Amino acid sequence: MTTISAENQAVALLTSAGPLPNIVANDLKKLGGRLVVLRENGPPRGKMMKNRARRLGWPTAVGQTMSHHLFKILSKASQRRINLIETEYALNSKEQPEIETILIKSVNSDHCRDELRKLDPAVVAVYATQIIGKETLNCVPAPFINFHGGINPQYRGQCPAYWAMVEGDADHAGFTIHLVDEGVDTGDILYQSKADFEHSDNIATYQHRVTAQAMPYFRQAIEDALNNHLSPKSMSLPSKLWFPPTLWAYLWNGVTRGVW
């Protein structure tokens, strides 16, 4: 792994708030050069619930909201495991004031597009945002590269490592670094690999483990873009979009399949 060769090549990171986005931002800073984080607030949870209800029905949307609250409790209970992962991989989940950060309402807002145009980045890194629309994708002539914590296209969407484990498909529990298009995790693939988990991992720690193992590949993809060496490819796997489990599905999978 080398560092950014031209100091005037800026990298923009579109992301959200929280420990995992902080890990990604802090790790990409290792590339050197200028990194600017555009951190979105995201839609209110009530709006997200209504959107899911339109697509999946109210029972599923309510069940997913209930599981979200359970996962927040599980994350606190799993903090020791999360700390061990961060220590093992030398990850930093604290927001660093020295990293340029711009707060935006949404990656699809005029504010976001204006900031991207002003920055004129050589590459736009993406992690944990809303689906990025065509207008934002086309606002600067730079590749948008996403880190997805699942094996595309078989485990697109949310909680992919968890669903792979539920399906008894540990060989397809991993991560994908890919170009962003207008679909949901459907862009051409740059890097992809299986991730390793331990018996003590659960839905609150899978993404930490995946992130720890994916970051060298994410940095490499950004480096490839900066040096015009991107080599995208497609994968001949089944394609399926996954959503967070409902509370009852999560409990059922835990009891019957031992996947928590």
Q: What is the mean pLDDT of residues 106-121?
A: 97
DSSP state letter for 9: -
Q: What does pLDDT average to over the chain?
A: 94
CATH numeric code, 11-257: 3.40.50.12230
% residues pLDDT > 90 (the chain): 89
Q: What is the mean pLDDT of residues 52-77?
A: 94
Using CA atoms, how far apart are residues 242 and 236, in angstroms rounded to an integer? 18
End-to-end alpha-carbon separation of the chain, Å? 35
Using CA atoms, how far apart are residues 79 and 57, in angstroms rounded to an integer? 33
Structure confidence at residue 20 as a pLDDT band (50, 70, 90): very high
Using CA atoms, how far apart are residues 29 and 104, in angstroms rounded to an integer? 20
Angle at 250 between CA 249 and CA 256, to 5 degrees: 85
Both tokens of 126, joined, read 């993406």
The predicted structure's pLDDT at residue 236: 86
Q: Is 150 in contact with 156 (CB distance < 8 Å)?
A: yes
DSSP secondary structure string for all residues of 194-241: E----TT--TTTHHHHHHHHHHHHHHHHHHHHHTT----B---S---E
Q: What is the mean pLDDT of residues 119-148?
A: 97
Using CA atoms, how far apart are residues 228 and 92, in angstroms rounded to an integer? 29
Which residues partner with 12 through β-bridges? Answer: 36, 124
Angle at 191 between CA 25 and CA 245, to 5 degrees: 70
pTM (2 decimals)?
Answer: 0.92
How many other C-beta atoms lie within 10 A of the C-beta of residue 203? Answer: 25
Q: What is the mean pLDDT of residues 7-30?
A: 93
Q: What is the pLDDT of residues 216-253, one digit of tens each?
A: 999 999 999 999 999 999 888 899 999 999 999 999 99
The predicted structure's pLDDT at residue 3: 46
The predicted structure's pLDDT at residue 8: 63
Look at residue 68 and tell me whether its pLDDT is greater than 50.
yes
In sequence order, which residues have a C-beta less than 8 Å from that of residue 224 and are 6 or more positions away? Answer: 190, 230, 231
Q: Is 247 in contact with 66 (CB distance < 8 Å)?
A: yes
Q: What is the mean pLDDT of residues 113-139?
A: 97
In sequence order, which residues have a C-beta less than 8 Å from that of residue 96 and are 6 or more positions away? Answer: 22, 25, 26, 29
- Of 2-11, 75-84, 94-103, the poorest mean pLDDT is in 2-11
Kindly list the domain boundaries of the chain, sorted by start residue.
11-257
**Residue 191 dihedral angles phi and psi, to the nearest 5°:** -140, 150
Both tokens of 192, joined, read 């992809």
The predicted structure's pLDDT at residue 1: 41
Using CA atoms, how far apart are residues 189 and 171, in angstroms rounded to an integer? 18
